[in-house]
Amino acid sequence: MPGLRRLRSVAPAASPPTDEDLLLEVARGDQPAYAELYDRVGGLVYGVVRRVVRDPAQSEEVAQEVLVEVWRTAARFDPDKGSASTWILTMAHRRAIDRVRSEQASRDRTQRVGQREHQREYDAVAEEVEVAFEHEQVRTALAALTDLQREAVELAYYKGYTYREVAELLDTPLGTIKTRMRDGLIRLRDAMGVAS
């Protein structure tokens, strides 16, 4: 029965490849593997970029750049150092931040922080709507932080503020903000059981 034989021959490969397997294949120039990886991480990349950059058209542009960069530099990925999704999301976040900062570089920083402060109320509302997208575990872990830890982490990660700007916004000493970002993340790490 040819059909059965075919079935047997594919049976050992039945367990789906991990993201890391795919990325290693991509590093060898495998375009079908890339297409599959895209299906898994395209939404992650677009989501994080959109969260930081906000404007949909610009977000799409940056997300595309990041995804092509994943293809181009896949050989740099080292599974010993972390997961494929961490590697890709770190790249996506960095690019999104770079875009936001370069857009704002020509403006007066102080003035910008002042303006942003007035927008915070609006942002907070938008935030509540977006929270619906968040994974339950992440939401629970964030909720367990102190207010200052959570604000410091969220303003930096989701809004792209530097820690200096966060200190200014929250009217809190720089050293405190640095420490809260670190101990906030450490708490999240422990709450979510993250290993590198």
Partner 1 sequence: MTADIHTLTGAYAVDALDDEERRFFEQHLEACEPCAQEVAELLATAARLGAAAAEPPPAGMKAKVLAEVDRTRQEAPRPRVGGSDRAGRADVAGGPTGRPWWGGLMLPAAAVLIVLGIGVGVLVNDLYGRLGSLEQEQVRYTEIMAAPDARWVEADGPDGSLGRVVLSASRGEAMMLVDGMDRAPEDHIYELWVIDEGGATPAGLFDVDDRGRMSRVVTGDFADAAAIGVTVEPAGGSPQPTTDPVMVLELGT
Residues numbered 151-190 forming contacts with partner 1, rule: CB under 8 A: 153, 156-158, 160-164, 166, 174-175, 177-186, 188-189
Per-position b or e across 129-155, b if 16+ CB within 10 A of its CB: eeeeeeeeeeeebbeebeebbbbbbbb
Residue 116 touches partner 1, criterion: CB under 8 A:
no
Give me the least distance between CB of 123 and partner 1, in Å please.
Answer: 14
Residue 144 touches partner 1, criterion: CB under 8 A:
no
- Which one of residues 67, 145, 148, 169 is an interface residue with partner 1 (CB under 8 A)? 67
Residue 113 touches partner 1, criterion: CB under 8 A:
no
Torsional sign, CA 95, 50, 53, 122: negative
Hey, what are 182's tokens? Answer: 């670190």
Give me the least distance between CB of 122 and partner 1, in Å please.
Answer: 18
Give me the least distance between CB of 195 and partner 1, in Å please.
Answer: 7
Phi and psi dihedrals of 18, rounded to 5? -75, 165
Alpha helices in 11-143 (DSSP H): 19-27, 31-53, 56-72, 84-104, 109-130, 136-143
Give me the least distance between CB of 10 and partner 1, in Å please.
Answer: 25
- Which one of residues 20, 36, 130, 170 is an interface residue with partner 1 (CB under 8 A)? 130
